[in-house]
């Protein structure tokens, strides 16, 4: 999802909202990172949108004790880049 933020404003779906709520329920505490992620997804400036979603996602990963792996992030980036290229070709 954060990689999509590089190229467009992603749709803030019920599935994303549910996933954020579920993750928060697993580790209750400060809801700010989850709320910030949700809000950052709708940012108008694509550079800030990506940076804010990426930063808050890192925080969510840390809260759950998960290490964010570079190869996984690269795979998501490549998939998002391919979607953007297809979107441009269709426009």
Answer whether residue 1 shows pLDDT above 90: no
What would the pLDDT profile of 31-64 be if each residue is shown by its tens digit?
A: 999 999 999 999 888 788 888 998 998 899 899 9
Domain total in the chain: 1
Question: What pTM value is reported for the model?
Answer: 0.71
Residue of 16, 68, 66, 76 whose CA lies nearest to 41: 16
Length of the chain: 91
Backbone angles phi and psi of 10, in degrees to 5: -70, 155
| Three-class SS state of 26 | helix
- Containing domain of residue 13, as a range? 4-90
What would the pLDDT profile of 23-36 be if each residue is shown by its tens digit?
A: 999 988 899 999 99
């Amino acid at each position: 999802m954060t990689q999509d933020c590089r190229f467009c404003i992603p749709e803030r779906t019920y599935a994303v909202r549910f996933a954020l709520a579920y993750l928060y329920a697993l580790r209750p505490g400060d809801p700010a990172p989850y709320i910030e992620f949700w809000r950052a997804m709708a940012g108008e400036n694509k550079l800030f949108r990506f940076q804010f979603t990426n930063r808050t996602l890192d925080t969510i990963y840390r809260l759950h004790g998960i290490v964010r792996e570079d190869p996984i992030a690269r795979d998501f980036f490549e998939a998002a880049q391919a979607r953007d290229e297809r979107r441009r070709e269709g426009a």
